[in-house]
Amino acid sequence: MDSIDLQGQGELALDGLDAMAVMPRCEMTQVNFDLHLVAFEDADTGEDTARILGADYRHLVRRTTTLSIPINILSIGAIRSLEEQGKIPTRTAAAAKLTSWLRHGVASSWDEVAQERRIRQGVLDLEDQERLSL
C-alpha cells in the first residue's frame, strides 16, 4: 500500500467546533438532522413530555403527538412562549438544550460583530484625492 504524502498539507481550520457540545441531537437516535421539538404523551409514564426527535423516532410517537416544530425555526422567545401557553411542559431537557444552543448562536454572532468593530481603517487610498472635497 502506498504511503500518503502529507508534506505541504495545510491545516483545515474548523471554526465553531466549540458549538458541537451544545448542538442538538435526537434524544433517542442521536441523529443531528431533520430535528423537531415534539410534544407527545410518553407511553411509559402516561405524562406529557417534549423531546428533540429525528424523523425516525417522530414516526413512532405520531399518534400521541400534540406538537411538532422544526428546531431551525425556533427562537428562545418561541420556546418560552410554548411553555407559557402549555404547549410543551416547562423545564424539559429538550427546551433547555435548545435554549442553550440558541444562546450559543447569538453569543457567536455578537462576538463576530464585536470583532468587526475592532478593525479600523487607517487610510482611505484614493487615486485622485483632489476630487474628494470635505
Those residues whose C-beta lies under 8 Å from the C-beta of residue 48, and which sit 6 or more positions away, are 39, 40, 41, 42, 66, 89
Mean pLDDT of 91-115: 79
Residue 56 has pLDDT above 60, yes or no: yes
86: left (phi over 0), alpha (psi -120 to 50) or beta: left
Domain boundaries of the chain, sorted by first residue: 23-115
CA distance 44 to 22: 28
Place of cell 487615486: 127
State the pLDDT at residue 85. 96
State the pLDDT at residue 133. 52
